[in-house]
Structure formats: C-alpha cells, structure tokens
Amino acid sequence: MYIKTVVVTLVVMGLSCLWTVWQPVVVDLDVLQGFFEIFGVAYAIIMGFAMFLVSDNYNTFKRRIHGEIDDLQDLRDYLIYVDGQDELVEEIKGNIRKYVEEVLNKEWPAMTGHNHVEMDTPEEMYAVMRSVNKIRRTNESDAVALERLIATIASITTHRMERLHAAHEKLPSPFRQLILILSVFLLFAFSLMPVPHLPERLLLGSLMTLSTVLIVTVIFDMADPFKGFWRIEPDAFRSLLKRL
C-alpha cells in the first residue's frame, strides 16, 4: 500500500513540476478559493460517507465472525450439562469440528475469491442438529442443556448468514469511479494554485497528494476485507478448531 502511495505521489509531483515550468494556465486566486470552499466541502462529505460505508461493513463482518465463533464455543461448553451420554457428546463435538473445517476449507476460500457460497444451512450444521436431537432428557440438566443447545444453533446459523452477506458487500463500481475522478480533479485543481516558488509548490503538492492517495487507498482497501493491509484472516476459526 505504501509503495503504491509513494509511486503515485512521485508521479503527480513530477507532473506538477512540468506544469509549473510550462504554466499553460493562470487562474485567479479568488476563483480558486471559491472553488475549494464549495468543492472541498462536497469532496469531504463524499469521502466521509464512503469511509463510513466501508468501515461499517468491515466491522460488521468482524463482529459476525466473532459472534459465530463465540456461539460455536458455547455450543461445545453446554454439552457439559448433558449427563450420562458421553458417546453422543463426542459425536456432537465431532460434528462441530466438521462444521469449522467446512468454514476453513470451503467457505473461506470461496469468500476470499468472491465466489458464490450456498446460503442454505450446510450439511455439517444439519449433522450437529441431528446429533443434538438425539439427546435424551433424563433429568432437568439435560432439558436445560437441550434448550440452550437449540437456541445456540439458531444463533450460529444467523451469524453465518450475516457473515456471508457482509463478505459480499462492497462499494458499487460507479461510486468507486466517482471517488477516483473527484480525487484526480482535486489534485489537478490544487496544481493550479499560484505558488511562485518551486520548493513550496513541491512541499504543498506532495502533502496534498500523499493525504489524498492515502485516503483513497484506505477506502478501497477496507472495501475488500480479504485483501490489502487490513485483510481479515481466518485465524480465529483455526484457533477454535485447535481448542475443539
């Protein structure tokens, strides 16, 4: 990310130097000031809205992952209240492990490649449901455990659906193009500023370019939670699989 930012900044500053030497257009300072007052506000609103969208979806995706993992761990822990059915408890734990392996080996690679993932409940979770349905209510502890297990399974399937939906959310292509066009237009307009000395122009231009490119890069990076500097790895699922 930082290499791309530096490269873009150097390219823009090189063009700015050529523009300074050539000076094909001279714009009045009052006109530029009025332009930046209007365009700057509009640009800040659009970029702020874009940042809100990508950060909200990014955080939602992370919350769904942790919510699903917490429920899977609770599902395992509630089995301690099932008395005298050790073989069935191990069967349920085995099916939970198979579900986590399904997420790691199939769903996560599909989400990373932005491929279609079946929204219906996977067979591995149905296996967990069938195993839980075999629990015999021999005492009050079994009845309470069964109630909690059923509620937790429902919560897991909900978190899974929301995780899959959040994984496919992204900035619309026209909105991405709008951000790029407005950013380029902003840098071009800034290059028209009548700064007489080249060192001052380079300093101001580099700071403006660097900040603009960083903002755009962060937005595009966070828009895809599986790539870039802020990518989300399935480490939490791997850790859960080890604990299971």
User: Which has the closest alpha carbon to 10: 206, 199, 215?
Assistant: 206
Structurally, the chain folds into a number of domains equal to 1
Domain that holds residue 82: 2-243
pLDDT digits (tens, 9 = 90+) for 73-107: 999 998 888 888 889 889 999 999 999 999 999 99
Predicted TM-score (pTM) of this structure: 0.76
Q: Which residue has the higher pLDDT, 71 or 172?
A: 71
What's the rounded Cα separation, in Å, for the pair 205 and 188?
10
pLDDT band at residue 156, thresholds of 50, 70 and 90? very high
pLDDT digits (tens, 9 = 90+) for 181-235: 888 888 777 777 666 666 766 777 777 777 888 888 888 888 888 887 788 888 8
pLDDT at 20 over 60: no
What's the rounded Cα separation, in Å, for the pair 41 and 35?
10
pLDDT band at residue 69, thresholds of 50, 70 and 90? very high
Sequential DSSP letters for 118-148: --SPPHHHHHHHHHHHT----SHHHHHHHHH
Phi, psi of 26 (to 5 degrees): -120, 120
pLDDT band at residue 9, thresholds of 50, 70 and 90? low
pLDDT digits (tens, 9 = 90+) for 50-64: 999 888 888 888 888
